[in-house]
Chain A
Amino acid sequence: MNDYDLYDKNTQAIIYGSQVNAVQRMLDFDYLCGREKPSVAAIVNPNRESLVKVFFSQHEIMVPEYKSLEKAAAEHPEAHVMINFSSFRSAFATSKEALETDSIKVVVIIAEGIPERDTRKLIALAKKNGKTIVGPATVGGIKAGGFKIGNTAGKIDNIIASKLFRPGSVGVVSKSGGLSNEIYNIVALNADGINEGVAIGGDRWPGSDYLDHLLRYETNPDIKFMVALGEIGGRDEYEIIDAIKAKKITKPLIMWVSGTCAKMFSSGVQFGHAGAASGADEESAQAKNQALREAGVIVPNSFDDFGEKVKETYERLKAEGAIKEEELPSVPKFPVPLKEALSTGMVRKPTSFTCTISDDRGDEPVYAGYTISEILEKGWGIGDVISLLWFKRPLPEFATKFFELVIVVSADHGPAVSGAHNATVTARAGKDMVSALASGLLTIGPRFGGAINDAAIYFKEAVDRGLTAKEFVTEMKDKGINIPGIGHRVKSVQNPDKRVEILSDYAKKNFPSTEYLDFARKVEALTTEKRNNLILNVDGCIAVVFLDLLASGNVFSESESREIVKLGYLNGFFVVARSIGMIGHIMDQYRLKKGLYRHPTDDILYDVQKMD
């Protein structure tokens, strides 16, 4: 790297702060410039250590993220620039650490609002250690075609428009970050673009000031003339004038000091930058512009004709042969980030997933078109939420109350049934709640709980085909299939299942029609003739009442009803309901601090073949 450069085409930086967008913008610039290595070596993020994915050209690379600068610097000793995005509260400590790190030579401080005394201490430290500070309160700087600090110069379209992807002949210094970008554009429109530009920041005490950079530009043979934008307040311009008088600056300099309007304000106004306050008369913009003009600096009449002065100077140097116009290199085709292209409607993209029941992208979740606020306002309950999320429509009250009734009666059936038992054994083995619940739920199937769905399938088919109860029972017997939903291990005609009574009473009272329930009762009458425990059980009852629900009113079409039964919706009710009970049993075991369960061997018949 040349002495007069702070960074160049091979420079790598460490970024302090989780600033993935800034890193991406730096790497996009790198790609446009044809850099071989990305300009970011590592990120320091005190909260996390990981690998951050960013694009370098068309492809993604991983930038390592470390928790401390110490580690980042140790792993990447070649990175000599640190770009510090920490807040004004912590920027002093982090910048100090960087200035004390041997491998770091340039520290860029982005934060605005660092106490002046802290900045001054950093400046003293930098001087002692022979290092350079850019900032504070800056967006950074840019070496055209080489290295870009953070968010400087914005996005790709601007970098191309302002010809920043390859070096021109002009060196720029300004305080303001926003205006520096403006001036890069002015220089590109009126000359061959910048070679380097720095925004030194709007604070009273910039870590490096105008003169530091102008003197670097003076020794850089590729820079043919310089442009600077000064500001009301401070005495930096007089230092420049002294340097011109001492022949330390000999290249043409175009400079304008803004703040000439201050004369309109009767009392002192604090402009946008902390350093921009009208102090003594000689710190006024008029006085400084006048002094610069007298020292031979090219001073425009106002910001309005800045561009003309740049053009005049450029044309003059070209005529003198000092500048040779070179053709712009071609810019590689730059891939548009997908998100951006989508937002501007440039591209369309097929989706991989589809969702037709809910939408979480707005202010609040929406279930099948109803916001949760609306749902609560209407006083809807869990039965209505099931209607919306499972059936994509609100269902009449007789239906939603039925869902809730099913949940209540099916929520638990004691600790002995296989699902609760499995959940209990798993919980006692020391597994977490979700594992224990899953173990219990996995028991649900054709013999436990799952009978509801099978019952619905057979009863629906029978009724829809117009079979009589007798024909149905006979057919099933001929096929050798036990009718799902018929039969109970304990209950019988004399000792009826209370749950079945509750559900069928409800249906009789509230449903417009109970055709399927009536059919099932006829089947039950036939089967209980054979054995008195072949009653309509709770699974069968839920199934047939649900079939009545599907057939009621004009809520579901026939094909929808068939699909609902086929897809296994009914098992869903059992899973939801019984999860409540299983979680209860699991928590019960935890509360009781029950240890590992081992089944007694005397309860097992060991009948293992003996070898001779």
Chain B
Amino acid sequence: MAQRGIREWDAKRLIVDNIDFPLTHDMALIRPHSDIDEIRKEHSFLSGKLVAKPDMLVGKRGKHNLVLLNKDFDECVEWVKKKRSGPVRIGPAKGELTHFLIEPFVPHEQEYYVAIQAERDADVIFISDQGGVDVEANWDKVKEIRVPVDELLKEEQVLEVLKQPVIAKFAAALHKVFADLDFVYLEINPIVLVGDKVHMLDMVAKLDDTAAYRSKEKWDGVAFPAAFGSTTTPEERYINELDSKTGASLKLKVLNPEGRVWTMVAGGGASVVYADTIVDLGFGEEMANYGEYSGDPNQELTYEYAKTVLDLMTRHPGKPKVLLIGGGIANFTDVAKTFTGIIMALKDYREKLIENQVSIFVRRGGPNYKEGLERMEDTGKVLGVPVHVYGPETHMTRIISMALGG
């Protein structure tokens, strides 16, 4: 739960639907299974000159040759087909392009820049009459207006720094949408005027997804796509689903399915420290997953979480593997209780654990940790799986070097 990027298509739709400003915006989203003929029938603007670009949280599309300008719809469809024919590398990320945004091509001269960024005590409005691809180079021309968190941007404030009444009116209306819909970041670059009509040509937006409980209706089915190149596996989706249904927290990211080092760490902070230490010790390439469970999850949840991890880690027998069941000294989580779910899962996977030559290292403190550790140790003996247990007297991350022979 945090700040999440949304598609340009969703962002523009939300703004058009909610803004108190005369604004229309023609656009069509081509999804993986969209019927091209249906789309053609639905949108009359597609008979004109168009712009096409992928809509999947990819930045700097112009520089990566991912914007098609001033073409007709058939040419756009051809281009889209070509772009989605195989994996594409953008910066460090590699993935498939699946969603494309088609909009009218708008010839224009002056390009404006409007962005809003949520900061601790204010929403900061960045505004410039020298927008476009070179806005960063011209950053000294960008004006900054700080609007305290419980106030709204006024037209007059904009006019003081940029003498363009339409843009000023639009910016004020835009900030109201930003505040009402729990946006945390919004950047329109460029925004152009044709006569008095505003055109939002390119947009990046983020919503605060913790507001979902009260903004769901206003968001009207908005999607939170994963970052480009980061595909979600069914197991990750399953854990996401469990996470969304409980007050506790469950997270799982598979990094290298054939890695030797698997973790099941309690706590949002501790899990990062474990991952750091694995990388520091030179086992980054062998680190199979990142994940955490916290907030006192019940026995059923820890059982499901542990089963998912154990299933993933026992799919590729070969090199011996280690499982780090780590964590700090819990404040209030009953360690023995959360271990009960994990122990149930270990019993289910006994044969596979042996087949995969898994050894388990446990380090944990907190309420009833002694009982929890004893039960883990006993389980290891019963199952015939090597289990080594440590309490608060052992430094939290020491089990990593013990397990990996560092």
Residues of A within 8 A of B (CB): 21-22, 25, 87-89, 112-117, 120-121, 123-124, 127, 139, 151-155, 158, 161-162, 174-179, 181-182, 185-186, 189, 202, 204-205, 229, 231-232, 258-261, 263-277, 285, 301-304, 307, 344
Contact = CB atoms under 8 A, between A and B. Distances in A.
Given A178-B267, A260-B279, A267-B229, A272 B272 contact: yes
Contact of B213 (A89, A273, A307): A89
A229 B269 contact: yes
Contact of B329 (A21, A115, A185, A302): A185
Contacts of B128: none
Nearest to B183: A117
Interface string B273-311: 101111110001001001010110000000000000000
Contact of A120 (B94, B118, B226): B118
B214 interface: yes
Given A112-B1, A178-B331, 6 more contacts: A121-B149, A121-B150, A178-B267, A181-B329, A267-B228, A269-B290
A259 B331 contact: no
Contacts of A155: 366-367
19 contacts: A22-B332, A115-B208, A116-B184, A117-B118, A120-B120, A120-B121, A121-B150, A127-B121, A154-B330, A176-B267, A178-B294, A182-B270, A185-B365, A232-B272, A263-B279, A267-B229, A267-B230, A268-B230, A303-B397
B328 A182 contact: yes
Contact of B211 (A115, A127, A178, A307): A115
Interface residues of B, number: 67
A261 B118 contact: no
A118 to B, nearest CB: 8
B314 interface: no
Interface in B340-398: 365-367, 371, 392-393, 395-398
Nearest to B371: A344
A181 B328 contact: yes
Nearest to A279: B3
Interface stretch (B24-32, B47-55, B107-115, B248-256): B248-256
B186 to A, nearest CB: 13
A201 B211 CA distance: 18
B149 A120 contact: yes
Contact of A259 (B150, B179, B272): B272
B182 A139 contact: no
B150 A154 contact: no
Contacts of B211: 115-117
B273 A124 contact: no
A181 B330 contact: yes
Nearest to A22: B332
B266 interface: yes
A116 B118 contact: yes
Contacts of A285: 276
A502 B295 CA distance: 66
A127 B147 CA distance: 16
Interface of B: 1-3, 92-94, 118, 120-121, 148-150, 179, 182, 184, 208, 210-211, 213-214, 226-230, 247, 249, 251, 253, 255, 266-273, 275-280, 284, 287, 290, 292, 294-295, 327-332, 365-367, 371, 392-393, 395-398, 401
A212 to B, nearest CB: 12
A178 B278 CA distance: 19
B375 to A, nearest CB: 12
Contacts of A202: 268-269
A302 B276 contact: yes
A266 B2 contact: no
A232 to B, nearest CB: 7
A162 B327 CA distance: 17
Given A115-B208, A267-B93, A179 B150 contact: no
B367 A261 contact: no
Given A123-B121, A267-B228, A258 B149 contact: no
Instruction: Find the residue from A121, A202, A271, A275 having the highest chain B CB count within 10 A.
Output: A271
A567 to B, nearest CB: 44
Contacts of A270: 2, 251
A139 B331 CA distance: 8
Given A116-B208, A182-B270, A158 B365 contact: yes
A263 to B, nearest CB: 8
Contacts of B93: 266-267
Contact of B280 (A176, A229, A302): A302
Nearest to A205: B120
B149 A261 contact: no
A277 B3 contact: yes
A151 B331 contact: yes
A234 to B, nearest CB: 10
Given A89-B213, A123-B120, A161-B392, A139 B267 contact: no
A318 to B, nearest CB: 22
Given A151-B331, A181-B329, A205-B120, A304 B280 contact: yes
User: What are the 9 tightest A-B residue pairs by CB atom distance, in nearest-first order?
Assistant: A272-B268, A176-B269, A182-B328, A178-B267, A151-B332, A115-B211, A274-B2, A179-B269, A261-B275
A261 B332 contact: no
B366 A302 contact: no
Given A115-B208, A304-B398, A182 B329 contact: yes
A93 to B, nearest CB: 12
A204 B3 contact: yes
A153 B331 contact: yes
A609 B342 CA distance: 87
Contacts of A268: 227, 230
Contact of A258 (B255, B269, B332): B269
Contacts of B226: 267
Nearest to A182: B328
Contacts of A185: 329, 365, 392
B393 to A, nearest CB: 8
A152 B332 CA distance: 8
B268 A273 contact: yes
A182 B125 CA distance: 41
B64 to A, nearest CB: 15
Nearest to A272: B268
B331 A271 contact: no
A158 B92 CA distance: 45
Contacts of B398: 304
Given A258-B269, A271-B271, A264 B279 contact: yes
Contacts of A114: 210
A259 B276 CA distance: 6
A158 B398 CA distance: 20
B134 to A, nearest CB: 20
A161 B2 CA distance: 35
Contacts of A120: 118, 120-121, 149
Contacts of A301: 280
Contacts of A174: 269
A270 B251 CA distance: 9
A537 B208 CA distance: 82
A444 B95 CA distance: 85
Nearest to A115: B211
Contacts of B247: 87
Given A273-B269, A303-B397, A261 B229 contact: no
A176 B271 CA distance: 11
B227 A117 contact: no
A189 to B, nearest CB: 8
A94 to B, nearest CB: 16
A151 B226 CA distance: 35
A141 to B, nearest CB: 11
Contact of B331 (A177, A189, A231): A177
Nearest to B180: A117
A302 to B, nearest CB: 5
Contacts of B393: 189
A301 B281 CA distance: 11
A24 to B, nearest CB: 11
B331 A181 contact: yes
Nearest to B393: A189
